[in-house]
A and B are shown apart, each in its own frame.
Chain A
Amino acid sequence: MIVSVAMDSDVEAARPWVEEASPTFITLVDQEHRLSALYNMVNVPQAVWIDEAGRIVRPTESGGSIDILREFDPALGGFPEEAQARAGKAKETYLGAVRDWAINGSNSQFAFSPEEVQAHLEPMGADQAMAHTKFRLGFELAAQGKKEEAERVFAECRELHPDSWNIFRQTTEKLDIGIAAGEAFWEKVMSLGDKAYYKSIDMDGL
């Protein structure tokens, strides 16, 4: 089964997307980004495969999205066709693996062994744990209308956990269409250097 979770502090910002898609699967909303702390998530989409016994068989990874962001072409107002095709193919490949696991379970070649899961875990550091803690404080302050103090707390979160796009995009300025893809976002993307926006997925064909 699919459990999709909107990492949205503002439920109403996410609601139109859910209504438009009217999904047949469970769709939850995580206003305080609890999953970021519990599963060490830094972006969306992120996927975790959990077996029938509640054990992780693929830890947090990009849910089929590949790192094409820096191929965005302002002249096109979008991505070049070749990059779009590459991203589409990657999504298909990832979905194919999900389907294979849904049918074959632990016999699926895409389900990791316990040792493989452990080898793919990214350890969290103290600053990141504090960033998640302060994010929940900032959320509560914002909910109580203390916007200024909330903004200050969120700025601390961004400094404590600079790799978290969940924190950055949730707490920085949005375009009119609700997407955090303004100047600050692109500046941060362009300063990634060797780092990936979406870390590559360890899967055949990706």
Chain B
Amino acid sequence: MTTVVHEHGRFSVDSSAAGALWASAGTVRDELGWELKPEGFCKDEICVPVPPGRTAEFVDGDAINLAALWQHLGKPLAASDATDVWSLGESADDHNAALTSLAAPDFELPDFKGRLNQLSDFRRKRVLLITWASW
């Protein structure tokens, strides 16, 4: 079992090897929002073409190689020594563009009783988001 952590959560896939992280197209869509369409890999209004002649690196039947996709998208990724944990990040450019748009990046986090709260639940209210730590 391989664990994939990303900016908004985590999920599991069956297997992975050095340089490859295969997940079903449905998992990739549901967990990360990326979908393979005729024009390439798409999320929201963005589509990135699959490089000509290199489809096999990215797609195998119903499976998508997330490691190859993430690299192709220019996003940071890191894996454990045993390649059983992967972290998929978002690029500096994506973060900078998100903040420049002025839309407060949404997130979902638990309270101390484990109940999940989403920032966007608090629309129509002014929110002072303030961090602290025990350390």
Contacts and interface: CB of A to CB of B under 8 A. Distances in A.
A51 B135 contact: no
Contacts of B120: 54
Contact of A54 (B8, B88, B99, B123): B123
Given A114-B102, A146-B80, A123 B133 contact: no
Interface in A122-141: 123-126, 128-130, 132-134, 136-137, 139-141
Given A29-B110, A38-B95, A141-B85, A4 B102 contact: no
A1 interface: yes
A28 B130 CA distance: 10
Given A49-B128, A133-B89, A169 B135 contact: yes
Interface residues of B, number: 51
Interface stretch (A12-20, A76-84, A192-200): A12-20
Main secondary structure of the interface of B (DSSP, over half): mixed
A50 B127 contact: yes
Contacts of B104: 48, 50, 54-56
Contact of A130 (B7, B76, B103): B76
Interface in B26-85: 76-81, 85
Contacts of A153: 78
A interface residue count range (under 10 / 10 to 19 / 20 to 34 / 35 or more): 35 or more
Interface core residue of B7, B8, B87, B103 (most chain A CB under 10 Å)? B87
Contacts of B92: 123-126, 128-129
B133 A40 contact: no
Nearest to A153: B78
Contacts of B109: 5, 28-30, 34
Nearest to A133: B89
A2 B120 CA distance: 14
A196 B117 CA distance: 33
Given A29-B109, A117-B102, A140-B3, A13 B135 contact: yes
Contacts of A39: 99, 105, 129
Interface stretch (A67-75, A85-93, A173-181): A173-181
Given A2-B128, A45-B131, A169-B135, A56 B89 contact: no
B59 to A, nearest CB: 24
Contact of B111 (A28, A63, A180): A28
B90 interface: yes
A124 B7 CA distance: 16
B127 A137 contact: no
Given A5-B109, A46-B131, A34 B7 contact: yes
A34 B107 contact: yes
A98 interface: yes
A144 interface: yes
B133 A6 contact: yes
B20 interface: no
Interface of A: 1-8, 10-11, 13-18, 26-30, 32, 34-35, 37-41, 44-56, 59, 63, 98, 101-102, 105, 114, 117-118, 121, 123-126, 128-130, 132-134, 136-137, 139-141, 144, 146, 149, 153, 166, 169-170, 174, 178-180
| Pairs of residues from A and B, 3 with the lowest C-beta to C-beta distance, nearest first | A133-B89, A137-B87, A38-B105
